[in-house]
Amino acid sequence: MMNNEKRIYVTLDTEMDSDVHWIKHFPAEYSSVIEGIPKLFRPIWDKCQVHPIYFVSPEVLYNEQCVEVLKEEIEKGAIIGAHLHPEYILPESIFGEGMEKEKAKFPCYGYSDEVEKEKLKNLTELINEKLGVRPIWYRAARFGADTATIRSLKELGYRYDSSVTPNIDWTSKGGPNHTLALDKCYKISDEDIYQEGTDSETVTEVPVTIYQKRWGIIGKLLPENWLFYRWLRPTHMTYLELRHLINQMVKEEKNIGVMMFHSMEIMINKTPYVRNVWMQKYYLWRLEKALQYAKSKGYQL
C-alpha cells in the first residue's frame, strides 16, 4: 500500500452522533453512519473515485444497521481501520446510561499500558467478528497514542498508524505532544513513536497532514489551538485554503497526504460545525471540490 504513487488517504473517524458540544448521549444515535455514509458521502466517493478509510469506534459495531452499511462499503472498496474510544469497550467500559457524565480519556494516558492493549485486542476482534476483516490501520481517539501503543499495535498485527498530528500539542488537554513528530511517513522506532526505526516489520506512521498556522504573520500571534493550524481537513478550512495546502504538497513533492474528519461532522447539529442545511451543503461542497482538485494534481484517493 505504501509505494511511490501519489495518494491522499481520505479518513473518517467513524463514531456515534454527538451534540453541538461534542457530548455523546445514551441511547446512542448513529445518523452519520446509517444515513450520512450511503446518502451523503457515497455519492462523493463514487464521483471522485475515493477509497475511504473508516476508523471505526467500538460503539458503532453494537448497532446492526451500522454494521450492514459498513459491510456494503467494504464491498465498494472501503478500508476498515480501528479507532479506539477506550471508554466504550471492555475492560472498564462505561458505554450505557449516564456515559455522558464521564470525561473522555486519551487511550494512552487514561489507562495502563496493559488495559489499553486489552482494549485494542478486544476492538480488533470485534471488527473481525462483525465485519469479517482484520484491521491493519489504526487511529487513536483524540490522537492519544504513544510508544507503548505502537508496541501493542505491532503485537496485534497492525501495519499502519495515523494517530500523529504534526505541529499540534495536546498536553493542555491531557494528551501527547505531537510537535515532536516527523512530518512524513516513517517506520516507527520501538523506542520512540516520534523517531524513525530500521525494523521493516514494525508499524508505519502515516501522520495527518497538518502544516503551520493559518493566516500568515497574524496566525503566529494567535494562541495554541488546533483550529489555527492548516489541516487537510474540511472541518474548519475553506476550499481556497485546502487548495493552497494541496499546492504546497505538490511543490514539496509530498506524495502521501492524510485528510481526516469525523463522520458526524456533516450531519446537522451533531457537532459544532454544521448547524443548518446550508452549512451542510457548504461542507460537502468544499469536501468534494478539494478532492477533485487533489485528483487534478495527480493524487489518487
How far is 123 from 90, CA to CA, in rounded Å? 9
pLDDT digits (tens, 9 = 90+) for 41-87: 999 999 999 999 999 999 999 999 999 999 999 999 999 999 999 99
Looking at per-residue pLDDT, the higher value among 226 and 256 belongs to: 256
pLDDT digits (tens, 9 = 90+) for 274-293: 999 999 999 999 999 999 99
How far is 101 from 274, CA to CA, in rounded Å? 24
State yes or no: pLDDT of 3 exceeds 90: no
Q: Of 203, 80, 104, 210, give the one whose Cα is nearest residue 148.
A: 203
DSSP 32-93: IIIIIIIIIIHHHHHHHT---EEEE-GGGGG-HHHHHHHHHHHHTT-EEEEEE-GGGSSSS-
pTM of the model: 0.96
Query: All 3 cell numbers of residue 83?
Result: 479507532
* 138-143 mean pLDDT: 97
Q: Domain residues of the chain, as ranges?
A: 9-40+49-208+262-276
Q: Domain 9-40+49-208+262-276 is classified in which CATH homologous superfamily? A: Uncharacterised protein PF12979, DUF3863 (3.20.20.510)
